[in-house]
Amino acid sequence: KNEVEQSPQNLTAQEGEFITINCSYSVGISALHWLQQHPGGGIVSLFMLSSGKKKHGRLIATINIQEKHSSLHITASHPRDSAVYICAVSFTTGGSEKLVFGKGTKLTVNP
Amino acid sequence: ETGVTQSPTHLIKTRGQQVTLRCSSQSGHNTVSWYQQALGQGPQFIFQYYREEENGRGNFPPRFSGLQFPNYSSELNVNALELDDSALYLCASSFARLAGGYRETQYFGPGTRLLVL
């Protein structure tokens, strides 16, 4: 069974701070996803990665396959970054794809 | 290019009733996944449809069923509703070529919030 653990559960930061959210998983995966969910429910896919590092604007995602660990970094954080950030992993079993989600990290960025 | 849409946005049902939720996938996508998100929890994978066939299922009972149509839109049906079925139901579409092991990022719809009384 693949477990996805995120830390921290809650994070409060001041505007401009560098933020790191961590994700660990327990079995081999085909890809790892970082998602952003705002109050009201809408989910936006930020990154899908299977190795290395990806960058989009102020967001950076890294993954270490050997250590089964990924991090999401936000540089120069802003109050509009306040949201729940969810890590999810996808893996295939018997040709079928399954996704397992972490419980999310609630980020609050204060002005 | 239109995004992923879901209908209805909100729904109230009573225990024992049946419900159908709908999802229109983004143009060019052939895969739809459904998720249930209870309040304060991360989403749970219900199932995925690829080119009209179920391609993977999470730990949900058979009263959760689905369909994918030739235009790749999809329905989620839940029979014999229970109070614990109250949740946000999310669908996500993507493009995949399973034979080659190729999958692209999933794009999520806004969700349907279901309340079972």
Asked if residues B107 and A45 have their Cβ atoms less than 8 Å apart, the reply is yes
Interface test with B, best of A54, A56, A98 (most B CBs within 10 A): A98
B90 reaches A (C-beta below 8 A): yes
With tokens 């306040």, the residue in question is A82
CA atoms within 13 A on the CB side of A22: 8
Q: Tell me, what's the pLDDT at B106?
A: 85
CA distance B95 to A103: 26
Q: Which helix (H) or strand (E) holds B24?
A: strand B19-24
CA distance B81 to A46: 33
Coarse DSSP helix, strand, coil percentages of chain B, rounded to the nearest 5 percent: 5, 50, 45
Between A and B, how many residue pairs show a Cβ–Cβ distance under 8 A?
Answer: 61
Q: Write out the residues of chain A at the interface with chain B, using a CB-CB cutoff of 8 A.
A: 4, 30-31, 33, 35, 41-45, 48, 86, 88, 90, 95-104
Q: Tell me, what's the pLDDT at B15?
A: 97
Query: Per-residue pLDDT for A30 more than 90?
Result: no
The per-residue pLDDT string of chain B (117 residues; one tens digit each, 9 = 90 and over) reads 468 999 999 999 999 999 999 999 998 899 999 999 998 888 999 999 998 999 888 889 999 999 999 999 999 999 999 999 999 999 999 888 877 777 778 889 999 999 999
User: Which residues make Cβ contacts (< 8 Å) with residue B40, sequence separation at least 6?
Assistant: none
Query: Per-residue pLDDT for A43 more than 60?
Result: yes
| Residues of B with Cβ-Cβ distance to A44 under 8 angstroms | 108
